[in-house]
Every structure is written in structure tokens, then in C-alpha cells.
Amino acid sequence: MSTAPPDSFEFVETTVAEVHAAMTDGRITAEALVERYLARIDAYDDDLNAILTVNDDARRRARDLDARFAEDGPVGPLHGVPVLLKDNQDTHDMPTTAGSVALADSRPPRDAFVVERLREAGAVILAKANLQELSFGVDTVSSLGGATRNAYDLGRRPSGSSGGTAAAVAANLATVGTGSDTCSSVRSPPAFNALVGVRPTRGLVSRTGIVPLSETQDTAGPVTRTVEDAARMLDAMAGYDPEDPVTATGADEVPADGYVSHLDPDGLDGARIGVAREFFGVHDETSASEADAAAVTAVVDDAIEAMAAAGATVVDPVDVVDADALGSARVIPHEFARDFDRYLARLGGAAPHDSLAAVYETGTITPSVESRFEAAGILDVDADTLEEDADYLRRLRRRTELREAVLARMVEDDLDALLYPPSRVPPVEIPEHQPFSEMNCELAAHTGLPAMVLPAGFTDDGLPVGVELLGRRFAEPHLFELGYGFERATDPRTPPERFGPLDGA
């Protein structure tokens, strides 16, 4: 065993595997690692504005894990790893606020299912991150936390709604993090912060205990700096939850040897990647410029060339679906109030309000989110008659049709994945709002198919650009093969200069 002191571990940009190797060698303890991340939060979060709540119990939990490690070894695959949670995931020992002043005192009686799984795997819940209030939008602005900033340019947006997690993980304020994705939230924030994000197939990861936006579209997923850590996180998060019956469809789809076993450095060799060109370029000329879109396209085209050099056959272009047609499958405005009210009812006496309407009527919702409520008519939907609403039922049928059409195209062209940018344009400057019309989130969200976002490189202005791979149903193992192969071939991540090691650390 090493005789190095337990604070000698160089932990900026570290991975789960490196943390565990350092623990085994005596170069770090879980408690020391927690202390060092807390020091970084103290030093850097005033700039990022990414953290809502630090877990007062993190140090005690880390000490307990250190004692158990000394006695019996690791308790699980995430032993002692500091994890940052998006603050829409219930924690029994911390508030769960969804970034809303109206929910600041909401203390759920139990953890979300995915949080239970992470704790069982040995994770230390370090803190909870800011998000777009109630997850409704793509800026990461909330009445409780204010505006989170991009880790690579503090004057720009981190995207959303999981922007707090993404900015903090990019700046090394935790080892790994979680997000949730209704339509972009675990994909565009990683893309804007040079990270990996995974939106799992619908049914692979439980939604129990996650503040909802849409029962049909919601899921949770990992936000990490490497593909390997995303695989380790998904290994812990995925699983059957009897309180979320849709997870029965994914119960037999988790590989027995875990997603980590599918990390193949030659994963692109022999793969067939279809480029969905309809998702490149400006979608709405009133929301963005052709020059901004060209900057993203140039980086993604370089990533496509790197995939080809690593052995992939690139089919370019592939016609998938009309991007405009995706809007006909949106169900968020129909489901938001119904599902949010059900969540509050589950909290029982812990809920500070009994409905989304009551939260809205507090008058505390941040103005940009409040205006989205009004524009979408969120509170005008009658939840009691929703199952008889012809427009809603047509939209649900449209989702099935879209999924079948996408899968048919992938089968006919023998494709392992479809490729496109998560956002057609880079992060915008604050106080501008990130244009939702330029997000490519709906293909995965409206089909329920899995997608992985990878760092692709940087624009000439130094802004991160991501590339998204959409796979077949429950094809996460193959996406990890492709993503790991790309990461090994390109080494695309560069950490943000502003958030380097602390002096003396």
C-alpha cells in the first residue's frame, strides 16, 4: 500500500475508477475527497451559480464509508464517489425544490428510486444543483437559484433544464452527476459543457420521486465527464421499480455484466452511422443566425470524419422524419399539471402546496418561466377529461408512429445509430434565452429511444459543441460501444480554464 498522505490525490478531471484506485492505494479517502469538492464549491460556485444546497450529512456519510472500506472493502460500484443531484430528484435528508421558491420547504419523506439506487451503490450525495425552474425550459434560471452560467463562458447559458449539474460537473465540483430529460435536459447541457449525457430508453430508469413535467417523456440519466463514468452511473440507476410499472419493459434489458462491459475502444470499427442532415442548420431564422449554425456544423462534421477514420461507415444523409412533424407529438402542455399534482399528492403532508396552480398563484415563479406557462396554456388543461381529449390521444398515437418510422429507417439502412447535433447553435449570451426551436431534443423524447451526447469539440470562439447518437430501443450497450470508441479516438474533452486546481490543493 502507498505511504502517500490521503490528500495527495490529483482529483480534478478524475474518474470513478481513478477514485477507487486511489482509495485502494491509500492516496485518498472518501472524507478527504468530499472535503476537497466542498472547497471547490466554496471557491467557484459564486461564479457558476450552479449549486442550490450542500448536503450537511456528506462528511458523516463519507466517514462511515471509509470505515466500512477499511473493514470489508467497497460497499458497491460507486463507493465513496461524490455525486451531484439535479434538484428535482427526491432526497429524504435534503429539500427537493425544482428550483422554485414555492417549494423551498418541500422535504420528501423518502428518496427517489434512482437516489436510493445510487446510495445503495455507495455514492455520497454531495449537493443538489440548480435547474430551469420546474424543469420548464432550456436556460437554467429559477426563482430559488437565479441563473446558472456556462462553465466555459460565464457570460453564456449552460442550457437546461439540467444546466446546474452540467456546469458543476464540467467545473469539477463533483465526480459525477444526475440530470433528468423531458426534452433536451440531459443532452443539451452536457453538449454545452463538454460532457457526456445519456437519455435512456423509456422504461429503463424509474421516474418515481422525480418532480415531473410529463409522465410520457420524463426520464433520468447520468451527466459525466467520460463515457466510462456514464456507464457506471447507468449501471447503478437502471432497474425495475414496482412503483413505476413502465420499468417492467426494461427489467430484462440491462446487461447482466453491466454497461461498463461494453466499453470497447474499437467500438466504431464496422459500425454504420446515419447522419440526419435535417437537424443541421438554422431551423427558425428569427431565433438564430446561419453563422451560429455553421459554427456547430463545422465541429460536428469534424466529429463525423473522426468516426469514419475510426472504422465507421457513414451514411450521409439519411432522411428520418420531418423536423416540423415532431411537434405534433408534444404532450408536455397536456400532462404537466396532471402529473405535477399527482407528485404533490404522493408527498402528503410534506407538500407545501397541493397543485401546480397553487404554485403558480404564489406569484414567485421566475418571470421567463411564468411567461412560458401563459404561452403554453399549462393551467387551462382539464386533467379529469384528458383521457378523452382527442388532440391528446392523437399526439400519443403520433409518438408510436414516429418510433416505428425511425426504427424502420434504421433497419432498412442497417444503421447502428443516427447522428445529429443536440443543438443547432452554440450557447447564447445572457440575458438572451436559448432558442428551443434550435434544440434537436424531440426525436429521442418523442420516440422514447435512447440517445447519448458526447463532446465533439469547440467552436473558434471556444464554445463546446456536442454530437448526439440515437440508438434502437434498449440499445444502450451498443451506444456505449460507439461512444467509447469515439472518445478513445478523439479525446475531445478539454476542461474549462477558469476552474483549475485550487492553490495548495
Beta pairing partners, 453: 197, 468
pLDDT (0 to 100) of residue 6:
52
pLDDT (0 to 100) of residue 322:
83
Mean pLDDT of 353-361: 98
Kindly tell me if the per-residue pLDDT of 60 is higher than 90: yes
Q: Identify the burial level of 108 via C-beta atoms within 10 angstroms of its C-beta, where 0-12 means exposed, 13-18 middle and 19 or more buried.
A: buried
Kindly tell me if the per-residue pLDDT of 356 is higher than 60: yes
Q: Could you tell me how many helices (H) and strands (E) the chain has, helices first?
A: 14, 13
Q: Which domains does the chain have, with CATH numbers?
A: 16-499 (3.90.1300.10)
Kindly tell me if the per-residue pLDDT of 278 is higher than 60: yes
Q: Nearest 5 degrees, angle CA 257-CA 262-CA 268? A: 165
% of the chain at pLDDT higher than 90: 97
- Write the pLDDT tens digit of every residue in 123-163: 999 999 999 999 999 999 999 999 999 999 999 999 999 99
232, 423, 494 from 226: Cα distances, Å = 10, 20, 11
- Write the pLDDT tens digit of every residue in 379-418: 999 999 999 999 999 999 999 999 999 999 999 999 999 9
Kindly tell me if the per-residue pLDDT of 3 is higher than 50: no
If you search the block for the grid coordinates 459525466, which residue do you land on?
224
Mean pLDDT of 195-202: 98
pLDDT (0 to 100) of residue 8:
74
pLDDT (0 to 100) of residue 491:
95
How far is C-alpha 408 from the geometric centre of its chain's CA atoms?
27
- Maximum separation of any 2 CA atoms in the chain, in Å: 69
Which residues are the active-site residues? 86, 161, 185
Q: Which residues of 242-277 are buried (b: 16+ CB within 10 A; e: fewer)?
A: eebebbebbeebbeeebbbebbbeebbeebebbbbe
Please give the Cα distance from 268 to 284 (Å, whole number).
Answer: 33
3-state secondary structure 305-355: HHHHHCCCEEECCCCCCCHHHHHHHCCHHHHHHHHHHHHHHHHHHHCCCCC
pLDDT (0 to 100) of residue 77:
98
pLDDT (0 to 100) of residue 325:
84
Kindly tell me if the per-residue pLDDT of 284 is higher than 90: yes
pLDDT (0 to 100) of residue 5:
54
Indicate the pairing of strand 464-470 with strand 451-458.
Answer: antiparallel
If you search the block for the grid coordinates 477499511, which residue do you land on?
70
- Write the pLDDT tens digit of every residue in 232-245: 999 999 999 999 99
Mean pLDDT of 199-208: 98
